[in-house]
């Protein structure tokens, strides 16, 4: 079961490896992104950042296949981009919670900062809205487990996205 799907282009860092894993109670972290999964350096480095947690670095297709084949495992999936998360959700997998965590600006894109740590392009906003549609009209944002949960659709609207 996918206990938590987080959209965070930083992927694995201290908050994820310690705080989020403890809060979620998942058995393993799956980093989900095609380019990251094809990069041998990131495939080696990301598990080392997870401080002893089990980590798999998979493409979107590999993530979906793994989750389908291991429904009894409790997973924390971290997607680099909202498009990765949308593909996971469109596969029909059951996901307990979806959270927008962090999205650093990507140089050369036309983005708006909707929070101090989340940059969103028009294409990203479309993905986020589709994700919310699939989740009963709800999509939340929470940077850390200590932060309040925010309505991400409201943040998009406030910023003209």
> Cβ atoms within 10 A of the Cβ of 150, count?
17
Contacts of residue 69, Cβ cutoff 8 Å, sequence gap at least 6: none
Q: pLDDT by residue (tens digit) across 9-33? A: 999 887 777 788 889 999 999 999 9
Q: Which residue has the higher pLDDT, 156 or 145?
A: 156
pLDDT reported for residue 82: 98
Establish whether 13 is a catalytic residue.
yes
The single residue of 1, 3, 10, 13 carrying the catalytic annotation is: 13
For position 100, which CATH number holds? 3.40.35.10
What is the tally of structural domains in the chain?
1
pTM of the model: 0.95
Domain with 14, as residue range(s), is 2-158
3-state secondary structure the chain: CEEEEEEECCCCCHHHHHHHHHHHCCCEEEEECHHHHCCHHHHHHHHHHCCCCEEEEECHHHHHHHHHHCCCCCEEEEECCHHHHHHHHHCCCCECCEEEEEECCCCCCCEEEEECCEEEEHHHHHHHHHHHHHCCCCCEECCCCCCCCEEHHHHHHHCCC
């Amino acid at each position: 079961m996918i206990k938590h799907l987080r959209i965070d282009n930083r992927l694995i860092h201290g908050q994820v490896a310690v705080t989020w894993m403890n809060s979620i109670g998942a058995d393993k972290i799956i980093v989900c992104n095609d380019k990251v999964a094809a990069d041998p350096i990131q495939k080696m480095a990301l598990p080392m950042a997870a401080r002893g947690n089990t980590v798999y670095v998979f493409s979107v297709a590999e993530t979906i296949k793994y989750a389908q084949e291991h429904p009894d495992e409790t997973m924390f999936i971290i997607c680099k981009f909202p498009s990765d998360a949308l593909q996971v959700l469109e596969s029909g997998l059951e996901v307990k919670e979806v959270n927008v965590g962090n999205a650093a600006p990507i140089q050369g894109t036309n983005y708006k900062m909707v929070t101090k740590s989340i940059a969103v392009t028009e294409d990203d906003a479309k993905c986020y809205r589709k994700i919310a549609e699939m989740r009963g009209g709800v999509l939340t944002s929470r940077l850390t487990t200590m932060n309040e949960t925010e309505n991400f659709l409201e943040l998009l609207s406030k910023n003209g996205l």
